[in-house]
Amino acid sequence: MTSARRRPLDRRAAVAVVSGALFVSGVAAAGPAAAGQGEGNPRGATATLDGLNTYGKAVVQEEGGNRDISAGLSEMTVEDGGSLQSYSVDMLNPTREQAGYEEASWGTSSLHHNKAAGKIRWIVENSFPQVNDLQALARQAKVKRLTPELAAAGTQVAIWRLSEESSAGGAKVKAAEPAARKLTDYLVKAAKPMPEPRPSLELGPVETAGMSGDRLGPVTVRTTAPVVSIEADPDAVARGVRLVDKKGDEVETASNGTKVYFEVPEGSESGTASLAAQASAKIPVGRVFTGTGEHARTQTQILAGASSSTVSGSASVSWAEEGPVAAVSSAKNCDESGVDITVANGGDEEFGFTVGEHEYVRESGESGAETVPVEEDQPYRIAVNVPDGTDRVFTGVLDCATASAVRAEEGKGLVASAATPSPATVGGGGLSPDGASSDLAETGSSDTPLLISIAVGLVVVGGTALMIVRRARQ
């Protein structure tokens, strides 16, 4: 497909106003949005962080003295059933109480460009709780005895050594107890690179578009589950939309690599349909979980253990008898420090659309991506206006580096800042604060909570230029 083009009247340096509240505890929430808008389609497992379960003490070495923190294994509850165990990979980033998480790739997390990511996976594969024979683990570490608490602390610190100290000026940390320190040393020395594990369930693309009477798609299923149930939404079924394979045979289940098409009856008036996929899967150890929504500034977690869990995903299609038809999706782009907004035209006429303050055109059959720059740890809200007159709104937080790496790069030292960043808005309305929210006091941060709830003060940050960087895809 050819690349996108802008309208001639497009501003060369459009400015999006960035405004909001700078406050001490919590991040900004999205303002009102039109029905049907949101952050995107869920994929894989979504879970809630319950907090530390098995842990010991560690010592962070920083200018001005050392401080004690808790280090160990956390528990997470999967949204539709199941439980997870995880370690943190972002020591100085505080957690939010009952924070929501979703399964993600290494490349869209704080493990982005971390050359030691594969070794971190080796550690979670070869230490507690995957290795529950603590006597054997103690022999490998050459210590007399390991309790679950010592093993969890030693393992967590080994992960932090690779996730934090891999960047210049990164945080320095050690386990408080000698036995845990020896386990840390053994794990870091023995670790070998491993590849990133496959997602438990992923659908792509999450949105397609085309003309009624055609077989639209395909949506490809990627999964570790042996079987995935697939079904269309009830309204789609009532309109005669079927889920089929390439040959036109109806599809009710899928496995890894299955391609699913939407078959839309000829003559169907403009409309949309969606499919839901669900499976019971053992999420692979080493998968990353990142915070979700505009409250997503929370520690990235790496999976260390999992029960059989319910994983899900969805994809949608839009169609028309004639004219333009848009498919819009978003993806975090850590390489470009931004968010890719992909817009495809599955119709038979061109259409114009806006991303923030920029205007673009898509020809019939054309697809391309526009990259919106977003600051690290910066909540964003990006509105895309498409031919049907509605805004598609994408929200989230870009988390491509550990807090210690960011602060080292900025020359601000290693103590995490109490102030959260102001929200960035590109198109649509602004973001408003949701008030104070406490952090878990013992999840890779000081035993005294780093963030203290205070009254919200409104600060206008002012106009900030966000130049839309166009990156077309074939």
b/e per residue, 157-167, with b = 16+ CB within 10 A? bbbbbbbbbbb
CA distance 45 to 420: 27
Cα 182 to Cα 282: distance, rounded to the nearest angstrom:
31
Share of the chain above pLDDT 70, in %: 74
Residue 441 contacts by C-beta under 8 Å, 6 or more apart in sequence? 447, 448, 449
Residue 459 has pLDDT above 90, yes or no: no
Structure tokens at 462: 């002012």
Question: Please, what sign has the CA dihedral across residues 107, 108, 113, 118?
Answer: negative
Q: Quickly state the pLDDT bin for 379 (edges 50, 70, 90).
A: confident
Q: DSSP 3-state assignment of 57?
A: strand
What per-residue string of b and e applies to 342-381 under the rule 16 or more CB within 10 Å gives b?
bbbbbbeebbbbbbbbbbbbbbeebbbbbbbbbbbbbbbb
Phi and psi dihedrals of 183, rounded to 5?
-65, -45
Q: How far apart are CA 281 and CA 226, in angstroms?
A: 8
> Distance from CA of residue 155 to its chain's centroid?
24
How high does pLDDT run on average in the chain?
A: 79
Q: Could you tell me which of 1, 24, 14, 36 has the C-alpha nearest to residue 435? A: 24
Query: Among candidates 311, 230, 227, 222, which has minimal Cα distance to 276?
Result: 230
| CB 153 within 8 Å of CB 91 | no
Q: What is the pLDDT of residue 447?
A: 35
Residue listed under structure tokens 């602060």 = 407
**Sign of the CA dihedral running 405, 406, 407, 408:** positive
Tokens 């910066």 sit at which residue? 378
**Range with the poorest average pLDDT among 190-194, 325-329, 459-463:** 459-463
Check: CB of residue 355 under 8 Å from CB of residue 394: no
Phi, psi of 114 (to 5 degrees): -85, 110
The pairing of strands 308-320 and 5-6 is unpaired
3-class secondary-structure state, position 167: coil
Question: Is-contact 406 90, C-beta < 8 A?
Answer: no
Q: Compute the C-alpha angle 420/426/427, nearest 5°.
A: 135
Nearest to 376 by CA among 300, 287, 460, 323: 300
For the chain, how long is the longest CA-to-CA vector? 75
User: Taking the domains of the chain in order of start, what are their residue ranges?
Assistant: 46-190
Q: What is the rounded CA–CA span in Å between residue 232 and residue 450?
A: 46
Q: Which two tokens stand for residue 315?
A: 């994809």
Q: At what angle do helices 117-125 and 178-190 cross, to 10 degrees?
A: 120
pLDDT confidence of residue 403: 78
Half-sphere exposure of residue 368, counting CA atoms within 13 Å on the CB side? Answer: 21
| CA pair distance 106, 112, nearest whole angstrom | 6
Q: Say yes or no to pLDDT of 368 above 90.
A: yes
- Confidence band for 391, pLDDT divided at 50, 70 and 90: confident
Please state whether beta strands 391-397 and 83-88 pair in parallel, antiparallel, or not at all (unpaired).
unpaired
Which helix (H) or strand (E) element contains residue 369?
A: strand 367-373
For residue range 134-172, what is the model confidence (pLDDT) as tens digits?
Answer: 999 999 999 999 999 999 999 999 999 999 865 545 568
Local confidence band at 411 (pLDDT 50, 70, 90 cut-offs): low
Please give the pLDDT value at position 164.
Answer: 83
Q: Is the pLDDT of residue 407 over 80?
A: no
Question: Where do we find the tokens 């299955």?
Answer: 258
Tens digits of per-residue pLDDT, 318-363? 999 999 999 999 999 999 999 999 999 999 999 999 997 889 999 9
Confidence of residue 37 (pLDDT cuts 50, 70, 90): very low
pLDDT score at 160: 95
The amino acid at residue 198 is R
For residue 64, the SS3 value is: coil
